[in-house]
Amino acid sequence: MRTQVGIVGAGPAGLLLSHLLGLQGIDSVVVEIRALDYIMSRLRAGVLEQTTVDLFAEVGLADRLLRKGMRHEGVELRFDRRPHRIDFADLTGGRGIHVYAQHEVVKDLIAARQAAGGALLFEVSDVTVHDLDSEKPAIRFTDADGRAQVLACDVIAGCDGFHGVCRQTIPAGAVRTLHREYPFAWLGILARTPPASDELIYASHERGFALHSMRTPEISRLYLQVSPQDELADWPEDRIWSELHARLESEEGGIPDPGPLLDVSITPMRSFVVEPMRYGRLFLAGDAAHIVPPTGAKGLNLAVADVAVLAEALTDFYRTGSTAGLDAYSDRCLRRVWRVPDLSRGLGSVVHRRPAAGEVQRRPRHPQLRHTAGSRAAPTTRAADNTGPPLD
Give the model's pLDDT for residue 352.
Answer: 65
Domains of the chain: 5-70+97-178+270-341 (3.50.50.60), 182-269+353-387 (3.30.9.10)
Say if residues 289 and 276 touch (Cβ distance below 8 Å). no
Per-residue pLDDT of the chain (392 residues; tens, 9 = 90+): 999 999 999 999 999 999 999 999 999 999 999 999 998 887 676 889 999 999 999 999 999 999 999 888 888 888 888 888 888 888 888 888 888 988 999 999 999 999 999 999 999 999 999 999 999 999 999 999 999 999 999 999 999 999 999 999 999 999 999 888 888 899 999 999 999 888 888 888 888 889 998 888 899 999 999 999 999 999 999 999 999 999 998 877 668 899 999 999 998 888 889 999 999 999 999 999 998 877 767 889 999 999 999 999 999 999 999 999 999 999 999 998 887 755 555 455 556 666 554 433 444 455 556 555 555 666 677 667 777 777 76
Name residue 98's beta-bridge partners.
Answer: 48, 71
DSSP label at residue 169: H
pTM of the model: 0.88
- Helices marked H in the chain: 12-23, 36-41, 50-58, 63-68, 88-92, 102-115, 165-169, 237-248, 299-320, 324-337, 339-351, 359-362, 365-374, 377-387
Give the model's pLDDT for residue 150.
Answer: 98
Give the model's pLDDT for residue 121.
Answer: 98
Say if residues 72 and 99 touch (Cβ distance below 8 Å). yes
